[in-house]
Amino acid sequence: MKNLNTKRSSKLFNEAKKYMPGGVNSPVRAFKSVGSDPLFIAMAKGQYIYDVDGNKFIDYVGSWGPMILGHAHPNVIAAVKKTATKGTSFGAPTPYEVEMARLVRKMMPSIEVVRMVNSGTEATMSAVRVARAFTGREKIVKFAGCYHGHFDSFLIKAGSGATTFGQPDSPGVPAGLAAKTLVADFNDIGSVERLFVDNMGEIAAVIIEPVVGNIGVVVPENGFLDRLTELTRSNGALMILDEVMTGFRLARGGAQEIFGIKPDLTTFGKIIGAGLPVGAYGGREDVMRMVSPDGPVYQAGTLSGNPLAMAAGIAQLKILDRQKGLYGQLEKNGKLLEKGMKRNLEKLGLGYEINRAGSMFTLFFTNQNVRDFKSALTSDTSKFRRYFGEMLKRGIYLPPSQFEAAFISTAHTERDIEKTIAANYDSLKIIG
């Protein structure tokens, strides 16, 4: 199998490194952990992404999740074009924001009141501030390996790029603030119970990715999220569900619909902007009315509810809301891919793990059952690095880290899945 020609990407990267930290604007896209230069992208359409050297790939990154309908969906593009001609930002309310809030409430009934922001990080940061104000408590509980964006309080045992680059606890976070973040183990309710006992009356909220996507995909075991919800209630703390990845992806009503839980607050990210910069947080009316100008908790932003982002997001959410069979198709293709990859592993006598929730999946290079941060870290990342390179050569663009989720979109066809399974077989055969 020939190596890819990536001359133009490499040239751009060399120049980019002079002007930007690591040559990129977000660490995970630097390809650092997979030992090659990142691809610079020229365009994407449907399930395909094209780099500046003219290479074409079946894309399983999907801009890290939001492109659930594939790239450049005609409805989304039409909405952006139409809106852009009327102006790109006003710093004042628009009808789009009302329509967006109405849609989010309709699709996710736990959301009574919602505030739009510009990213998942802003959403989680603001949700925790509100929870602290509402409860009058300062400590929060997060789970090892969960990633909730790059706000100080969350860069403690954080997944995603922080784990990929071996920096789960970032320097620069004040020790006093870090001490307010308590860390429990995913799928281990006992670890949360102990924190509540040791910090009685001090915990404002528990924040969790219902299906972890930031150490690769890790699925909650039966009853774990239910017990967690009960535990927060009985201790007067709030439950914050971080649905930045899972919201509107695993189901119309997100992970909370699938697992039948009702969080106090939920955070969302890029999917509600169809790839434009958007986030949101929302939930119980009595909690959300704490937010300024209804209440005293300050949180603001000129670009919050930006008309272009709202128009794109509304176009995408409307399809997710109305198109019959959409989530069934994602599940079917997810299952097909999982089955094919498992068949490959069996044929080759390899015992690696595949975790999947609907259209999110990860192949872990470990023989252990991956159910938390510790077991995810048993993955052989040098094997992943070689696997990633082999898949890329075969036209499959996966997230460039063992500790990320891959995403299927509605644009992926059965043929794409079959091609991916074949590439997976050939790649695994080479690396063993």
Binding site for ligand HOZ (CB under 6 A): 26, 28-29, 64, 147, 160-161, 214, 404
262: annotated active-site residue: no
| Distance from C-alpha of 118 to C-alpha of 12, rounded to nearest angstrom | 28
Residue 400 φ/ψ, nearest 5 degrees:
-80, 45
Please calculate the CA angle 142-148-152 and round it to the nearest 5 degrees.
80
User: Measured from the CB atom, is 28 or 408 closer to ligand HOZ?
Assistant: 28
> 281-296 burial by CB neighbour count: b if 16+ within 10 A, else e?
bbbbeebbebbeeeee
Active site residue 51: no
Q: Tokens 């019959």 belong to which residue?
A: 324
How many helices and strands in the chain, by DSSP H and E? Answer: 15, 14
Whose Cβ is closer to ligand HOZ: residue 50's or residue 165's? Answer: 165
Closest CB to ligand HOZ among 59 and 404? 404
User: Could you give phi then psi for residue 41, rounded to 5 degrees?
Assistant: -95, 135
Looking at 60, 96, 147, 387, which residue is catalytic? Answer: 147
Q: Give the nearer residue to ligand HOZ in terms of CB position, either 14 or 26.
A: 26
Choose the catalytic residue: 59, 242, 372, 416.
242
CB of 234 vs ligand HOZ, minimal distance in Å: 32
Least distance from ligand HOZ to the Cβ atom of residue 215, Å:
10
Nearer CB in complex with ligand HOZ: 96/403? 403
Which residue, judged by CB position, is nearest to ligand HOZ in the bound state? 26
Would you say 196 or 384 has its CB closer to ligand HOZ?
Answer: 384
Give first-to-last CA distance, the chain, whole Å.
16
Beta strands in 46-137, from DSSP E residues, in sequence order: 48-51, 56-59, 113-117
Q: How far is the CB of 350 from ligand HOZ (least distance, A)?
A: 26
Do 93 and 99 contact (CB within 8 A), yes or no? no
Question: What is d(CA 43, CA 326) in angstroms, rounded to the nearest whole number?
Answer: 25
Strand order in the sheet with 360-364: 353-357, 360-364, 406-407
> Are the C-beta atoms of 402 and 425 separated by less than 8 Å?
no
Annotated catalytic, 242?
A: yes
* CB 161, min distance to ligand HOZ, A: 5
DSSP state of 83: H
Closest CB 39 distance from ligand HOZ, rounded Å = 15
What percent helix, strand, coil does the chain show, rounded to 5?
Answer: 45, 15, 40
- What's the rounded Cα separation, in Å, for the pair 83 and 242? 29
Q: CA-to-CA distance for 38 and 331, rounded, in angstroms?
A: 30
Catalytic residue among 157, 270, 281, 397: 270
Contact criterion met (CB below 8 Å) for 42 and 35? no
Nearest-approach distance from CB 169 to ligand HOZ, in angstroms:
16
Nearer to ligand HOZ, 119 or 333 (CB): 119
The minimum distance between CB 97 and ligand HOZ, in angstroms, equals 25
Instruction: Indicate which residues carry an active-site annotation.
Output: 147, 242, 270
